[in-house]
């Protein structure tokens, strides 16, 4: 791509931020933003001494404002940096705060790149232990540019068990490996739906495709998340599931069940 041919830009840390974790997916609509939001909340809930931020660089379809129940324009600090908006103890920044919710994001090329540059460099995060970055879906210039501009501690890749999603997730993993970003593992989302009435389980998108991919790529499965009404409602009402129902045992298999694929 163009960015590659211009040579590798120098990586510069985001000021005040210790660790950056990107959440990526090959395809859209597989639950990448849902995972990013709940990962941020889980990191904060796990250890209350940790400061956590959430950065939405999904410039074409920012979901963080809605999922975190936030809107408004960021204030500027004295040094002219944008101040993140805060909810549930998480500092959030999103393209969605900078443009009207209903405005079509029809920018291309340079416009998107300058938006990314703003989101990466012109935010006053204060001190953060973790910054969770919600990437756009796919493996285009934005993903590459983010990966090359800032040091990333690791990438979490989200996929449904469906072949078409897995193929794209595979490409995503390869891209991160090429730019030397460690892939922390895969999250398999929407793997099973349990009928609330008869308790019958249906594997709508297939049963364990992400596990197979994890084996192929020698990666961990970080979580296996069922397709569940509560998760969708929690996202839509801006009360993420990790915040609103942290101990729900309906969410079987467990949300963060670790293990080899
Ligand atoms: P992406 O970021 O990959 O485009 P989202 O996180 O925005 O995907 O999820 C797409 C839609 O699916 C959202 O409406 C979200 O609430 C819903 N969703 C995601 N994961 C689940 C799940 N495990 N169960 C139910 N709904 C889900």
> Above 60 in pLDDT, residue 162?
yes
Nearest C-alpha to atom 22 of ligand 1 is from which residue?
Answer: 227
Whether residue 167 is contained in a domain is answered as yes
For the CA of 234, the closest atom of ligand 1 is 16
> Above 50 in pLDDT, residue 33?
yes
Whether residue 195 is contained in a domain is answered as yes
pLDDT of residue 171: 94
Whether residue 3 is contained in a domain is answered as no
Q: Which of 34, 210, 238 to mutate to test the pocket of ligand 1 (most atoms within 8 A of CB)?
A: 34
Mean pLDDT for the stretch of residues 68-88: 95
Per the listing, tokens 């904060």 go with: 44
- Of 1-15, 16-30, 47-61, the poorest mean pLDDT is in 1-15
Q: What is the CATH number of the domain that holds 104?
A: 3.40.50.300
Dist. CA 215–CA 191, nearest whole Å: 17
pTM for the whole structure: 0.91
* 223 vs 19, higher pLDDT: 19
Query: Which of the listed ranges 48-52, 136-140, 242-246 does the model predict with the highest average pLDDT?
Result: 48-52
Whether residue 189 is contained in a domain is answered as yes
> Above 70 in pLDDT, residue 59?
yes
pLDDT of residue 7: 47
Residue 63 vs residues 13, 28, 67, 102, 176: alpha-carbon distances, Å: 25, 12, 6, 13, 23
Nearest C-alpha to atom 26 of ligand 1 is from which residue?
Answer: 232
- Of 14-28, 45-59, 95-109, the poorest mean pLDDT is in 95-109
**Ligand 1 cavity residues, CB under 6 Å:** 25, 28-34, 63, 137, 189-190, 225, 227-228, 231-232, 235
> Above 80 in pLDDT, residue 100?
no
Give the chain's domain count: 1
Structural domain boundaries, residue 97? 15-260
Whether residue 156 is contained in a domain is answered as yes
Whether residue 6 is contained in a domain is answered as no
Length of the chain, in residues: 261
pLDDT of residue 211: 86
Whether residue 126 is contained in a domain is answered as yes
Nearest C-alpha to atom 15 of ligand 1 is from which residue?
Answer: 232
Whether residue 5 is contained in a domain is answered as no
Sort 49 into a burial class: Cβ within 10 Å, 0-12 / 13-18 / 19+. Answer: exposed
> What pLDDT digit, counting tens, does each position of 120-153 carry?
999 999 999 999 999 999 998 899 999 999 999 9
Q: Which of 235, 245, 256 to mutate to test the pocket of ligand 1 (most atoms within 8 A of CB)?
A: 235
């Amino acid at each position: 791509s163009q960015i590659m041919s211009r040579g590798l830009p120098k990586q510069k840390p985001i000021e005040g931020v210790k660790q950056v974790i990107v959440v990526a997916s090959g395809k859209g609509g597989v639950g990448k933003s849902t995972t990013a939001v709940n990962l941020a909340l889980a990191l904060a809930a796990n250890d209350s001494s940790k400061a956590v931020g959430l950065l939405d660089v999904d410039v074409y379809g920012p979901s963080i404002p809605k999922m975190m129940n936030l809107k408004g324009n960021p204030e500027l600090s004295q040094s002219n940096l944008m101040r993140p908006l805060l909810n549930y103890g998480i500092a959030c920044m999103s393209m969605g705060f900078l443009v009207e919710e209903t405005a079509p994001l029809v920018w291309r090329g340079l416009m998107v790149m300058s938006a990314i540059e703003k989101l990466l460099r012109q935010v006053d995060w204060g001190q953060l232990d973790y910054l969770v970055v919600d990437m756009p879906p796919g493996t285009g210039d934005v993903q590459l540019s983010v990966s090359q501009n800032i040091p990333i501690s690791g990438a979490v890749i989200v996929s449904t068990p469906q072949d078409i999603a897995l193929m794209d997730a595979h490409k995503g993993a390869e891209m991160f490996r090429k730019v030397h970003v460690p892939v922390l593992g895969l999250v398999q989302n929407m793997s099973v739906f349990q009928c609330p009435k008869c308790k019958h389980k249906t594997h709508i998108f297939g049963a364990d495709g992400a596990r197979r991919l994890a084996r192929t790529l020698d990666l961990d499965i970080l979580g296996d998340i069922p397709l569940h009404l509560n998760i969708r409602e929690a996202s839509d009402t801006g009360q993420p599931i990790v915040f609103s129902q942290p101990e729900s045992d309906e969410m079987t298999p467990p949300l963060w069940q670790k293990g080899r694929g």
